[in-house]
Amino acid sequence: MAEDHAAVITEVERQLKEATGTSWQDSIYLYPYILGRAVWKTQDADAGIAAASRITEQVRRGDRNVLHQLDALDDLARLVYGMGRMKESAAIDSASMVLADSRSDVPLIRRGKARQRLGLDYSNMGDHERGVEYYLAAKKVYEGSDPLPAINLAEACNGAGSSYWHLGRNQEADAH
């Protein structure tokens, strides 16, 4: 069944308008990807990014919950990543890492995930050295978590191993 992007845009914009000043206002962090993708599919990529960025900025300004701010940034990064705009995705993921590291109330798993996303960004751009750097940084953060996030740790190790393999460093790849 085909997606009705126009209806998604109408509904999300209505919810954004009606949420202002209500207890629902703190849920708008859920919408950057949904709205951005719908606008992208009906208009163009730049318009989709602008729509998602507008919501992300609204969350940054009006929602004190740092996890909501990180989720909005993750949505924006996922959108531009899906468009193949790796440099933009890396810039957003870098901002997410800086935000996560600036706040003591951000769980270690979120700090690790920011690094892991940067590893993915750089690996997909062909910069496997930087990819390994971020995957190993994510691994280190995950190893300091309690409880140990086994799935995230496995993904970081897999990413590091893959990046090492692309660099021709097979012994290091096998170690991960």
For the chain, what is the mean pLDDT? 93
Whether residue 80 is found in the same domain as residue 131: no
Tally of domains in the chain: 2
Q: State which of 104, 128, 158 marks the end of a domain.
A: 104
Q: Which domain holds residue 57?
A: 1-104
Q: What's the pLDDT tens digit per position in 139-168?
A: 999 999 888 888 988 899 889 889 988 888
**31-43 mean pLDDT:** 97
User: In the structure encoding, which two tokens stand for residue 28, read together?
Assistant: 């708008």
- CB-based burial of residue 151 (10 Å sphere; 0-12 exposed, 13-18 middle, 19+ buried)? exposed
**72-97 mean pLDDT:** 97
Whether residue 22 is found in the same domain as residue 88: yes
Nearest to 92 by CA among 71, 103, 76: 76
Q: What's the pLDDT tens digit per position in 52-81?
A: 999 999 999 988 999 999 999 999 999 999
pLDDT band at 92 (very low <50, low <70, confident <90, very high): very high
Contact 176, 164 (CB under 8 A): yes
Whether residue 61 is found in the same domain as residue 145: no
Whether residue 140 is found in the same domain as residue 71: no
Whether residue 55 is found in the same domain as residue 96: yes
The CA angle 85-90-93, to the nearest 5 degrees, is: 125
User: In the structure encoding, which two tokens stand for residue 70, read together?
Assistant: 């990180």
Whether residue 97 is found in the same domain as residue 114: no
- Which pLDDT value is given to residue 23? 79
Whether residue 70 is found in the same domain as residue 149: no
Whether residue 65 is found in the same domain as residue 78: yes
User: Tell me, what CATH number does 50's domain have?
Assistant: 1.25.40.10
Whether residue 98 is found in the same domain as residue 129: no
Please give the model's pTM, rounded to 2 decimal places: 0.90
Percent residues over pLDDT 90 in the chain: 72
